[in-house]
Amino acid sequence: MRTKAQYVYETLREDIVQGRLRPGTRLVFTQVANRFGVSPIPVREAVRQLETEGLVELKPHTRVEVTPLPWERGVWAYELRLALEPLAAREATPFVSEEQLGHMGTLLDSMHADIERLDLGAFAAHYYGFYDVLYEATPNRMLVTTIQELREVSRRFHRVHRCEAVLRGSEHTLRRLWRLIRWRDAEAVYAAVREHRSRGLERIKHLASREADRRDAV
């Protein structure tokens, strides 16, 4: 059973990652406590945990604010994912079960329906779900944990900077990847994931460059 502090922490964390609490938003303990119907004590515990993850920061005069998420942090996360995710996918390939393959196929069908509805939020959730299933089969769990942390940065980055459109077109790439996994071609899986991540990195760099030009022009 979750404690009050865990409930507050998990809810606030999801609000931050999903961009519902924007960078710079002030968290006032009394207001947060009223929202959840708890005393300030569980709120303080939740905030301390969020601070250890770098999602909030303490300011002078005991102010607590949601941390900024600059463009370069999103680029750095993509660069690291480019290095690590192909390895995790290659390691996973021999161990993906038929049940997992079926689940991944269902997620691909959901992604197709999401695109037809122009629901980018659902598309992103199913996109990340596809990789979640794949990485369940990766033996190196430390590698997977690191990737999951980086993906949390990417998810928040997409929401905060409203650039989830960079994921468009991924359905066809993942269908090809799904076939390669089914054929147990680990090296081809490595190459496909690396190519996919490279394209994503280039899109993010392009958006970051446009944003820098926009700021310079102001």
Please report, for the domain that includes residue 17, its CATH number.
Answer: 1.10.10.10
Domain count, the chain: 2
Instruction: Say whether both 23 and 121 belong to one domain.
Output: no
Q: What is the pLDDT of residue 73?
A: 92
Q: What is the pLDDT of residue 118?
A: 82
CA dihedral 176, 178, 182, 185 (to 10 degrees): 60
**Of 48, 66, 84, which one is at a domain's C-terminal end?**
66
**In sequence order, what are the beta bridge partners of 66?**
56
Place of tokens 């944003």: 211
Q: What is the pLDDT of residue 218?
A: 61
SS (H, E, C) 162-195: CCHHHHCCHHHHHHHHHHHHHCCCHHHHHHHHHH
**In sequence order, what are the beta bridge partners of 63?**
59
Q: What is the pLDDT of residue 168?
A: 73
Instruction: Say whether both 163 and 61 belong to one domain.
Output: no
Q: What is the pLDDT of residue 146?
A: 97
**Of 31, 66, 101, which one is at a domain's C-terminal end?**
66
pTM value is: 0.85
Range of the domain at 38: 4-66
* Positions in the chain whose pLDDT score sits under 70: 216-218
Cβ of 210: how many Cβ atoms within 10 Å?
A: 11
Q: What is the pLDDT of residue 169?
A: 78
CB distance 39 to 83 below 8 Å: no
**Of 13, 39, 66, which one is at a domain's C-terminal end?**
66
Instruction: Say whether both 144 and 55 belong to one domain.
Output: no
Q: What is the pLDDT of residue 2?
A: 82
Alpha helices in 53-119 (DSSP H): 71-92, 98-117
Q: What is the pLDDT of residue 158?
A: 84
